[in-house]
Amino acid sequence: MNTIMTSRAYEAARERARVLLATMTLTEKLGQLSQFGTSIYSDNEQTFDDHFTEGKVGSYLTIKGAQRTNGIQHDLLAATRLPIPALFADDVIHGYRTTFPTPLAQSCSWNPEVARRCSEIAAKEAYRAGLKWTFSPMVDIARDPRWGRIMEGYGEDTYLCSRFSEATVRGYQGEGETVGKDRIFACMKHFAAYGACIGGRDYNTADMSMQTLHDVYLPPFKAGVDAGAATVMSAFEDVNGVPATGNRYLLTDVLRGEMGFKGFVVSDAGAVVELIPHGFAEDEKDAVRLAFGAGCDMIMAGDPYNDRLPSLIEEGKISMEQVDASVLSVLTLKYLCGLMDEPYVDEDGEDCFFCDEHMDAARMAAHETAVLLENNGVLPLRPAAMRGKKIALVGQLAGAEGKSHLLGAWSCLCDPAHTVSIEEGLQNALGDACEIVTVRGCGVTCADTAEAHEKEAESIREAVLAASQCDVIVAVVGEEAGMSGEAYSRSDLTLTGHQGELIDALVATGKAVVLLVSAGRPLILTPYKDKVAALMLIWQPGSSAGSAISDLLTGAVSPSGHLTTTMPVCTGQVPIYYNHTNTGRPALGNWPFESKYRDCQIAPLYPFGYGLSYTSFSFEGIRLSADTMTADGEITVTLTVRNTGDTDGAEVVQLYIRDLVGSTVRPVKELKAFDKVFLAAGESREVTLRLPASELAFHDAAMNRIVEPGKFKLWVGECCTDERYEFGFEIV
Ligand code: BGC
């Protein structure tokens, strides 16, 4: 497929960049490889105006707004010898101002179009603020919900994450020849295996087999490269002993060599000088030698490249050719996005922020991202049935106080004032039909003082009193926005503060409790699963949270999200993921000496792929196009999906396989295709899923990527444990 990185426009941009490069001094070249700006760790904005005259600034991060970016651009261009504008970047992760559900939530839609659309709007708003580049998507596979950054990615599965990776890249960059108006460059991060930090502790070592690295963690990056991702960010952690930012094997051999990446690599914030505390570099100069030498083209953030590369070049430790190649890549992108021809952005363009179209898109995304886990029939709360009744809406996250938390971490320039709370959403949807009584109940967290605990106990008593006079209770619990994201690892995934007591007390009223869980990551919901009347994981749904969630609660829309991370029974089960290997002693329950826990089941609370709807579906006439294929062949699976209920809804058809015997052991299940099908009540549609043999390839013990002949099982189901429709096929 043609992408911006293979287009004629790209070649033309490169040609122009070459001409410019030939006129540049070494100082000016190194400036293009240096990024400055507001530290994400503080609000201290530093524009380094004293660097302008020599041309020592190539890019900025985290500068907010069209006026500000234009202003800095103007000062820079007025002062430099060569008029090379700065490339402005930011962490536009799930929206710029209009905020969408978190990426993990987006993945639960099992609809890559949702991610494409969210990224497309995020790009438009970011572009209007003067940005040309986002540090997104994060395509790190995450199998451990203790890791707070699990909320930034697309879950535990390689195949699903790869589809979201390419969709997001296309959303940001568009599918044209260049990255033009309202489009920005994507940056896939964090290369590589950042999600595999041991113990779920952020920044910690990733230590894994080369097979796991190549078969599980790298394919989403390859998918993004193939979709034309212009940039990649190197990760903080060490991978099998070599820090990713100084890892020549990863940044050069794999990324550029094997994957064919043609853009440039930016380091993560401070990751170059962190090669020193890693114990990999002696000092800053050594760190620059190792990082730049490995293939890290641009440094975020600061002067180490400006300061250290000249002597490294002089000493012959870094070649001028390598510097030129890096600068050429940066300049090419500056030409490709039109920055060299028009360095400023129209300051009147920001009126699209929070416009109806964007808020509606956020609402539609949130419809598809919530996952209904339990429902005894209490949901939906249809307006007609609720007439004259009373709903108790409970929890810190339910009312105005919850707005900022429903936006989630990494929500760029989000705005609680432009966020619909659950209370507002529910009032709009049901306020005419019934009375809604909002009570705080308790906070997500509680300070550890006797006074604070007593205050929460009193507040819970008040909530219970109010709730006991209502017909239905809707309780919203979970995490505050800042409890997931970077550097927020947790060792215990149970509900914090007094939230557990609150739920128990509400259940004890005997009223039906609809529990909504808003969190960045999977939490432990084991104690509540069977006690509540309905349980819905709403994640952090973004600016239109309240509108979308009330659409789901009232049945205006049927839930269609499915889990993309396994939900553990207890924190001790993690890391937990569905595509594990079988072991020689799988837990069959026959004897004690099996691979299991003695104090806990090994099955999760909810499996990967799981999610309920208000309607039901049947799969009919499932057939394989053949039961054998060659190593370069393909099988298709065709079936009719029917909505057998009386409500419109969407089903996610999931295709899993198992390679029964391999030269290295193979996972018990692997997702290889899926399709989300929207069907009106009673409607049916034929669906065809493709299974090319190349999807079954893996790396053998000698690291050859092979498609191995042999027997496979294949399942078509509604989640990874659904084995009602089992088939066999063989690669010959
Ligand atoms: C994060 C990156 C982010 C960068 C810039 C780092 O701390 O790891 O994901 O893009 O900061 O804000």
DSSP 189: E
Cα-to-centroid distance, 284 and ligand 1 (Å): 20
Q: What is the mean pLDDT of residues 706-722?
A: 98
Cα-to-centroid distance, 298 and ligand 1 (Å): 14
Nearest residue by C-alpha to atom 12 in ligand 1: 40
* Residues facing residue 134 across a β-bridge: 90
Q: What is the mean pLDDT of residues 53-75?
A: 96
Give the span between the Cα atoms of 671 and 577, in whole angstroms: 12
Ligand 1 pocket, 60 CB below 6 A? no
Q: What percent of the chain has pLDDT over 70?
A: 100
Q: How many CB atoms lie within 10 A of CB 669?
A: 22
Give the span between the Cα atoms of 79 and 54, in whole angstroms: 8
Nearest 5°: the CA angle 234, 294, 332 is 70
Nearest residue by C-alpha to atom 8 in ligand 1: 268
Q: How many CB atoms lie within 10 A of CB 627?
A: 12
Tens-place pLDDT, residues 101-152: 999 999 999 999 999 999 999 999 999 999 999 999 999 999 999 999 999 9
Is pLDDT at 332 greater than 90 in this prediction?
Answer: yes
Which residue among 268, 273, 410 is best mutated to probe the pocket of ligand 1, counting the most ligand atoms within 8 A of its Cβ?
Answer: 268
Q: What is the mean pLDDT of residues 401-428?
A: 96
Give the CA count within 13 Å in the CB-facing half-sphere of 517. 28
Active site residues: 268
Ligand 1 pocket, 91 CB below 6 A? yes
Q: What is the reported pLDDT for 44?
A: 81
Q: How many CB atoms lie within 10 A of CB 465?
A: 12
Of 75, 96, 94, 97, the closest CA to residue 86 belongs to: 75
Of 585, 573, 720, the closest CA to residue 665 belongs to: 585
Cα-to-centroid distance, 181 and ligand 1 (Å): 25
Tens-place pLDDT, residues 478-519: 999 999 999 999 999 999 999 999 999 999 999 999 999 999
Is pLDDT at 39 greater than 90 in this prediction?
Answer: no
Tens-place pLDDT, residues 638-677: 999 999 999 999 999 999 999 999 999 999 999 999 999 9
Of 571, 609, 642, 551, the closest CA to residue 373 belongs to: 609
Q: What is the reported pLDDT for 1?
A: 77
Q: What are phi and psi of 609, to 5 degrees?
A: 90, -10
Give the span between the Cα atoms of 442 and 453, in whole angstroms: 10
Tens-place pLDDT, residues 600-640: 999 999 999 999 999 999 999 999 999 999 999 999 999 99
Contact (Cβ atoms closer than 8 angstroms) between residue 671 and residue 563: no
Cα-to-centroid distance, 330 and ligand 1 (Å): 19
Atom of ligand 1 nearest to the CA of 135: 10
